[in-house]
Chain A
Amino acid sequence: MSLVTAVRDYINRMLQDISGMKVLILDSHTVSTISVAYSQSELLQKEVFLVELVDNISKSKESMSHLKAVFFLRPTSENIQRLRRQLASPRFGEYHLFFSNLLKDTQIHNLADSDEQEVVQQVQEFYADFVAIDPYHFTLNVPSNHLYMLPAVVDPPSLQNFCDRVVDGIAAVFLALKRRPIIRYQRTSDIAKRIAQETAKLMYQQESGLFDFRRTEVSPLLLVIDRRDDPLTPLLNQWTYQAMVHELIGIQDNKVDLRSTGKFPKDQQEVVLSSEQDAFFKANMYENFGDIGMNIKRLVDEFQQIAKSNQNIQTIEDMAKFVDNYPEYKKMQGNVSKHVTLVTEMSKIVEERKLMLVSQTEQELACNGGQVAAFEAVTNLLNNESISNIDRLRLVMLYALRYEKESPVQLMQLFNKLASRSAKYKPGLVQFLLKQAGVDKRTGDLYGNRDFLNIARNMARGLKGVENVYTQHQPLLFQTVESITKGRMRDVDYPYVGNHFQQGRPQEVVIFIVGGTTYEESRCVALQNASNSGIRFILGGSVVLNSKRFLKDLEEAQRMTRPSTTVL
């Protein structure tokens, strides 16, 4: 079952038994959860005529007792407080409370205390505590994502909040799927271990009754890994549709905000990119840029044909047909202009930032060897005036990640050149990255040069040549997924929590990347799912990263670990 379907089922169940006019009240997190899975028009069909945020609803004093209120909130202490204030002076006729995760008994008691008017009809836990952006990809939109990079001693309470949020999100995913998994984690990551152990405690000890589902033959697998094991993927520039839009413009909860990139007419300022609602996007989200261009041209031609035939109305039948097809025509027009706008914008950005040139070097750094050639290429690009600061930073980081140990002198040269060229560069960021995700910290074979098998494979690939220079890179996740499929994941690198053990291959696997996923990785998972290998993979993360976001996390974390550093 896909995650989007699970969330939709929850919402349907929430609304189905309540008749009459309803108000739906959400908080800032559940808004995202619901918006990606349910549309406004569907809500209207279910007679939900007002949607509000719980912070705003507290301010208004007007009484609307002919409406029934459906609250869908995360069970945080702030939300409970707001609810208590609401219940003390209720504005609506009936109150139906749904929480997206487990309620503590004290919270229920507090609510019951405030409910003097006895307006609450039901209190339920519906576990939709994650944002299902694609059928097999979810995110948690954790606000201070950078916390995962910090050692526990820096800010223990915030880190505890982070871990709690992640554990709640993962638990909700499994409750929605009605499964209890075997849990494995990446040995070298403390935070992955912590999250894995806390999740296990929740599922097997604290709430073991709730998680006691019908056992399948082979238990599903939850694998908790750390973003820093693959710092390469978020730094690379992307060339497949969904990943590229996120990298160059930015996607948030399947919405793209174009206002920052230029002036657009009102209806194109923000657009929706959802594989559930847009058939063209669903067919093209994993295609590379060249193919997309062709497909969009075909779409535009189709549309132009229809437009021309619409102008050619001669008989009554034509007229009737036109009026018949008008809504679809309008929808198609909106869709075509959306995709054309996006592709045009991205082409412009590619032109401005010379991304074809930069990306070629990036892919070389990521996939092929040759330190000398790499150094030369990076130096040339650093000297090139038209390359932007962020691209320079990324190139040096990519070089550093690969050739950390080889020729430190040249590495130092690159650092200095970077500092002299980029005015806003905060010194030490690359070194910070190396400290966090350097070769000593990584488990996986990021460059395919540790394992003999991988080296052989790389050589074979080099000899064969690549189809497309820009999409050569495969994220490390691909190897992980492969090793799970073949049942070859090493216990040394990915130990089990507690005394769990798994014989044979799991049928369902949830991979959670602490620190964030990327759309390139979700593409990898989607393609794997489509290949009918018998195993269904679901990918999730604390946020969805692009290079800007990843760099921001690094900067934030660096700032917090060395507060006394002065910027040169």
Chain B
Amino acid sequence: MATRNRTAMYRKHRDAVKSVRAPLSSSASGSGGPVIEMASLLSSNRSSYTPLSTEDPGPSSGDAFTVGLPPAWVDDSEEVAANIQQARVKMAELVKAHAKALMPSFGDGKEDQHMIEALTLDITGILRRSEKRLQKLSASGSAEDSNIRKNVQRSLATDLQNLSMDLRRKQSTYLKRLQQQKEGSDGVDLEMNMSGNKSRLEDDEFNDISMNAYQMRKLKKSEQITEERDREIQQVVQSVNDLAQIMKDLSVLVIDQGTIVDRIDYNIQTVAVSVEEGFKQLQKAERTQKKGGMVKCATVLVIMCFIMLVLLMLKEIFLT
């Protein structure tokens, strides 16, 4: 696709105009007179040149245009963006931790579990905090500002939602693989158990006591495993709930793609409409205020007072 860059020509002309303007302003004594003359001189040279504005001669343009500070909510939004970035980094760590935990290891795997728990809690916490802060983005500022704020909210909300979904997906795959693994090992255990039982049943009876103890230990162990698995599932359920809540809240802010709300011209229209509506309301308010009964009442009262005064004076004059 073809484009053409006109910046060079633009800059050249702008610099030329600037150099013309600068000596002009230095020679101007502050009155508009000589500046106008100079301007008209110049305009006669270039047919397409329009006269300089004579209101603001001189390089005081720097004062007129101060670099403003962004409004306060920008800090909030930047913080949320930083949080999202942090969450992303932690998610990468979580993925690594998941992978490590799933690998067969000699150790108990408890530290891995703890780390995974901690990371997951951490990330969920970050997401929840960011979401709360996003909701609270301050509502002050003008109409245009509020539009920008709304759009910033939307964009951050979309990012947050994507992160939450990502996190849950990773969690559910991890859980599934974990269950598979455990079932696998349990299956082996069960098998061993069954075959163990069979062989033991066929044994002598005075092995019963030791057999029972062995069975008791096996039972306890499987209980423990079940409890652990239960706990893990509870955790995942909890985080699924949390994330579901976040997503529900965010979905109010996020735009549905492909719908009318996602159209640029629709968004411009609604802004224009609401601004116009606001303007109309203001006008109406102004009119009703002008027509206001209060003003009429006050004027009537003042006139009455005046008349009464006059009457009083007349009475005095006639009596005396």
Contact = CB atoms under 8 A, between A and B. Distances in A.
Interface string A303-335: 000000000000011011001101100110011
Interface string A18-59: 000101001000011011001111011101111111001000
Given A44-B155, A49-B155, A116-B21, A324 B68 contact: no
Interface residues of B, number: 70
Given A44-B158, A178-B1, A120 B67 contact: no
Given A62-B144, A272-B263, A53 B268 contact: yes
**For A21, A41, A45, which residue has the most chain B Cβ atoms within 10 angstroms?**
A41
A125 B4 contact: yes
A127 interface: yes
Contacts of B251: 326-327, 330
B3 A126 contact: yes
Interface stretch (A105-113, A221-229, A283-291, A352-360): A105-113
Nearest to B56: A116
Given A50-B151, A62-B144, A6 B1 contact: yes
Interface in B1-40: 1-7, 9-11, 13-14, 17-18, 21
Interface stretch (A63-71, A389-397, A456-464, A516-524): A63-71
B233 interface: yes
Nearest to B11: A112
B151 A49 contact: yes
B87 interface: no
B7 A127 contact: no
B45 interface: no
B263 A41 contact: no
A301 interface: no
B1 A118 contact: no
B70 A66 contact: yes
Contact of A326 (B13, B74, B154, B247): B247
Contact of B3 (A93, A127, A274): A127
B259 interface: yes
Nearest to A176: B1
B244 interface: yes
A110 B48 contact: yes
B210 interface: no
B297 interface: no
Interface residues on A, range: 35 or more
A320 B240 contact: yes
B264 A51 contact: yes
Interface in B163-191: 165, 168-169, 172
Given A113-B49, A323-B247, A277 B258 contact: yes
Given A35-B264, A39-B263, A126-B3, A323 B168 contact: yes
A123 interface: yes
A44 B151 contact: yes
B13 A112 contact: yes
A26 B31 CA distance: 39
A175 B2 contact: yes
A526 to B, nearest CB: 21
Contacts of A89: 64
- Interface of chain B: mostly helix, strand, loop or mixed: helix
B227 interface: no
A262 B45 CA distance: 63
A109 B49 contact: yes
Contact of B172 (A103, A113, A118, A320): A320
A60 interface: yes
Contact of A53 (B52, B169, B272): B272
A13 interface: yes
Contacts of B256: 330-331, 334
B6 A117 contact: no
Contacts, number: 210
B302 interface: no
A43 B264 contact: yes
Interface string B230-267: 00010011001001100100010001111111111111
Contacts of A316: 233, 236-237, 240
A211 to B, nearest CB: 8
Nearest to B263: A35
Contacts of A274: 258
A271 B260 CA distance: 5
B123 to A, nearest CB: 16
A110 B50 contact: yes
A434 interface: no
B119 interface: no
B145 interface: yes
**For A113, A178, A278, A330, which residue has the most chain B Cβ atoms within 10 angstroms?**
A113
The 9 closest A-B pairs by CB, nearest first: A66-B70, A44-B155, A112-B13, A112-B14, A65-B68, A35-B265, A49-B151, A125-B4, A277-B258
22 contacts: A39-B262, A40-B267, A49-B155, A52-B144, A60-B142, A62-B144, A65-B67, A66-B70, A102-B4, A111-B10, A123-B5, A124-B6, A125-B5, A178-B2, A272-B259, A272-B263, A277-B257, A278-B258, A316-B233, A319-B237, A331-B256, A334-B256
Interface of B: 1-7, 9-11, 13-14, 17-18, 21, 48-50, 52-53, 61, 64-71, 74, 142, 144-145, 147-148, 151-152, 154-155, 158, 161, 165, 168-169, 172, 233, 236-237, 240, 243-244, 247, 251, 255-268, 271-272, 275
Given A115-B14, A272-B263, A316-B233, 19 more contacts: A9-B1, A31-B265, A34-B264, A35-B265, A40-B261, A43-B264, A49-B148, A50-B144, A56-B275, A62-B145, A63-B68, A124-B5, A175-B2, A178-B2, A267-B261, A270-B260, A272-B259, A320-B240, A327-B165
